[in-house]
A and B are shown apart, each in its own frame.
Chain A
């Protein structure tokens, strides 16, 4: 069983389009995250939800909108895609707590042409 899954794995699209990435975890965790990893492998936290409540909302363009329909899902919708949005996006989950391990999904490689 996959603990944290993301779909799609690859996403190639044109500038200006709107796209969504879905994330699901079956670990029973109460906290979920979205990260962006650039071409230099630098990891940047974008959002974090705890029990469907937004906890972390870093300086991210408002074209990015997370949605958490329930504790097991955290989707990411991106409007008006730009070239600079090209990156690998990772979903992760954990139990709330400062010592808790984050479990990562396999990533979604987004390429904007």
Chain B
């Protein structure tokens, strides 16, 4: 069965500093990987996803993630944090259910805190 581990339930960085949110997955097949963001009191929205091809994926708001098969990782980074980046971030992997249906297996989430 697929699983996702996000290291650190809370990550705190200073405004302007590098953001690094860690995600490791386990998958018996080539994975499809996602990062979603949830701003306070809102639903989740897609930041970026990896399906095939280039392993460095660029997303919205200056975020990017790199798929590293050898490390089974899909860490999320942003060179310079902004106050507006404060949110909950979720990593997910696609898992087959039945009859060509899929579901997302979710990590526990990481709360990103930005210090002024």
Task: Mark A residues whose CB is within 8 Å of B.
Answer: 4, 31, 33, 40-43, 45, 48, 50, 55-56, 90, 92, 96-107
Contact = CB atoms under 8 A, between A and B. Distances in A.
Contacts of B101: 31, 48, 50, 55-56, 96
Contacts of A105: 43
B44 A97 contact: no
Contacts of A97: 100, 102
Interface string B37-48: 010011111100
A106 to B, nearest CB: 5
The 7 residue pairs across chains A and B that have the minimum distance between CB atoms? A104-B43, A98-B102, A98-B94, A99-B51, A104-B44, A43-B106, A41-B109
Contacts of B34: 101
A42 to B, nearest CB: 6
Nearest to B46: A101
A106 B42 contact: yes
Interface string B49-62: 10100000000000
Contacts of B90: 43
A90 B36 CA distance: 14
A50 B45 CA distance: 21
Q: Chain B: interface residue count, which band?
A: 20 to 34
Contacts of B44: 43, 90, 92, 102, 104
A105 B38 CA distance: 11
Interface string B79-102: 000000000101000101111111
B94 A56 contact: no
Contacts of A100: 102
A42 B109 contact: yes
A10 B51 CA distance: 36
A42 B44 CA distance: 12
B103 interface: yes
B30 to A, nearest CB: 10
B77 to A, nearest CB: 21
A96 to B, nearest CB: 6
B108 A45 contact: no
B51 A41 contact: no
